[in-house]
Structure 1
Amino acid sequence: MSDFLKVCRVEATCYEQSQLEEPQSTPFCLPSPLPLTVPEPEYSLPLQEVDITFTPGLTEPGVIDPGSQIIVIRQDLAREVNTKINYGQHLAMESANRLTSWMVGCTENLPMRIGDIPFVLHTYVVEHAPMRLLLGRPFQQLLLTQLEDFPNGKVELSICDPCNPSR
């Protein structure tokens, strides 16, 4: 047992099967240079957006961010859609670059629509942001979203009507 718990050196481009499993003939190693069939990785990809329609008929692209725990709306957009801001409901947000900023407040039950699917979300209001609407995990959970990437770079977004999940 102590042999299994010892620290051992493993090559970064190779691995061997565990001794607990049936031994394989040879370890797997990535050839150098890589074969021509390996696709070239992208350096950067565009943000994924979906058009969100608000009650007054205003449509705004919302950036889908699976890494965000909240929905963020910029203050100018919150004013345009004429929503009430609860200034008592605010929190500090830490961005990817480790800067912390305070939210202005929260719009509660803000009505939105994607196509013919209506829903409401709580959105935290910020004064300044690079986008006017950031759709984090609460959006994805409510609409049971699924993002599917394709080799040609296309991305498909599937959503469910929260009032009728079978739809």
Structure 2
Amino acid sequence: MISHLKDSAPRFKGNPHRLKRFLTDFETLADEAKLTDAQKCTYLPRYASYRIQQQWEQLEPFKDQDWKALKDKLHALYPVTYDSYSYESEDLEALVNKSKNIPIGSVEDFAAYHRNFSQMSTFLIDQKRLGIKECNKLYWQGLPPVFATEVLERLKRKFTDKDPKHIWTMEEIHDAAIFVLSERTNLIVAHDSLPLREIEVMVNNQISVKAVVDDGSQLVTLRQDVWKQLENSPVFPSHRTQLVSADTGTSQTLGLIKDLPLRVGPITYYVQAQVVRDSPVPLLLGLPFWALAQVHKDVYRDGFMTLTMSDPNDRETVITVSTTARGFKGRSNPDTDSNDLREPPMPPMTLLQGLESEFPTSSTPQALRALAALSDPQIRHFFH
């Protein structure tokens, strides 16, 4: 039987709509482990939160080790109005508002939206809380604007006799969307937008933060709340500077921290950081940092980025760092996109071994870079 301490174990935290699934998952694992009904009663509370565990262990069916009675008692304690998950109109509207801001670039992307929308809308229609016409309107509104334009063009070409005020049905929209996406299967296009990238940075050997890397910024900035946690990092108000935002708004920084240590991996960089009162990011590594570290970036089509940087005080030390999308929390969700967990690219080992055999004395980083300058273009970028 899988331990209740493992992340993959079924877990109940009190949501009545999740009880049925929880009991089914638990019973499947228990049957695989060949537990008796009495053992199921004993183990079950351990897979609930601590507070709920205490409650369940006081129930008579638990004390009597009666598995069927215990399940019936739990269903009575956590009643639900419907057999399946209950949705409100607000849930469907929230899905629509979220989806219209997420680019759709593949059949899989659209299928995910279609499944989620269909699940909610079918429930609401069955409960007489959503009309067909309103459902069709919401389905259309959930498409990103650029994609919706392509789908509309396809619909107009296919249905030339439709009235301009015609409300497209879910089926019509779905078929047109699949057609558009199938047509562009072999066409590589740009994303509507991509998140900024972050790296882990140790500030002043005291605080670890996620720093946004942006060579389009003129400054290195540190947010005020982070600065307040630092020791021995005075701010010089006389070195304040003016900030200009994209909408031409202006604001003043609070001052400059001189020679602030920032550690990335084994390398410590000393930067001049402006302290800002409000910022969406705790630490912004702008062009001064990029110049100091001689950063070279490799960007992939999906936005994944690696940074190769050197130690300005030790030319022998060069590192390559993987970035993560801003706001990425790690693999807490099994459905998390694994693209942000990739290793930094490495040069083909067969090539390196070939170089070593040809030039056995040329093992320093400088020598390898010199050799790379004359090598195959496919591997040259590994030695920037």
Shorter-chain TM-score bucket reads 0.7 to 0.9
Looking at structure 2, the residues matched to 104 and 52 of structure 1 have their Cα atoms a distance apart, in angstroms, of 22
**In structure 2, distance between residues paired with 1:62 and 1:45:** 17
Q: Which has the larger radius of gyration?
A: 2
The structure with the largest helix share of the pair is 2
User: 2: distance between equivalents of 1:92 and 1:57?
Assistant: 28
In the TM superposition, residue 165 of structure 1 has moved relative to its aligned partner by 2.3
| CA shift for structure 1 position 152 | 4.3
Task: Give the alignment partner of residue 146 of structure 1, picking from 288, 296, 299.
Answer: 296
Query: Contact 1:103/1:124 (CA < 8 Å) preserved in 2?
Result: yes
Letter in 2 for 1:61: K
- Structure 2: gaps (5+ residues): 1-182, 318-384
Deviations 1:77-99 (A, max 9, x none): 11112211011111111011211
Shift of the 56–156 alpha-carbon distance from structure 1 to 2, 3 Å rule, reads closer
Q: Residues 101 and 38 of structure 1: is their aligned pair in 2 closer, same or farther, counting only changes over 3 Å?
A: same
Which residue identity is paired with 1:86? F
Pairs aligned (count): 134
Aligned-residue offset at 1:46: 1.3
1:127 is aligned to 2:282: no
Query: Whose RCO is larger (CA < 8 A, sep 6+)?
Result: 1
- Give yes or no for contact 1:77–1:132 (8 Å, CA) kept in 2: yes
RMSD between aligned residues:
1.6
Q: Which has the higher strand share?
A: 1
Distance apart, 1:74 and its partner CA = 0.8
Counterpart among 189, 192, 212 of residue 40 in structure 1: 189
1:159 and 2:309 matched: yes
Query: Paired residue for 2:200, among 51, 76, 82?
Result: 51
TM-score (norm. length: structure 2): 0.34
**Matches for 1:17-28 after TM superposition, within 5 Å:** none
Aligned: 1:86 with 2:229: no
Whether 1:64 aligns to 2:177 is no
The aligned counterpart of 1:99 is: 249
Deviation beyond 4 Å, 4+ runs, structure 1? none
Cα offset for 1:56? 4.0
Match of 1:149, as an amino acid? V
Q: Retained in 1: the 8 A contact 2:205–2:261?
A: no
Cα distance, 1:54 vs structure 2: 1.9
Retained in 1: the 8 A contact 2:256–2:273? yes
CA distance in 2 between counterparts of 1:163 and 1:73 reads 23
Contact in 2 for aligned 1:109/1:121 (Cα 8 Å): yes
Q: Secondary structure at the match of 2:311?
A: coil
Structure 1: segments with no counterpart, 5+ residues: 1-33
Query: Where does residue 3 of structure 1 map in the other structure?
Result: none
CA distance in 1, matches of 2:275, 2:302: 36
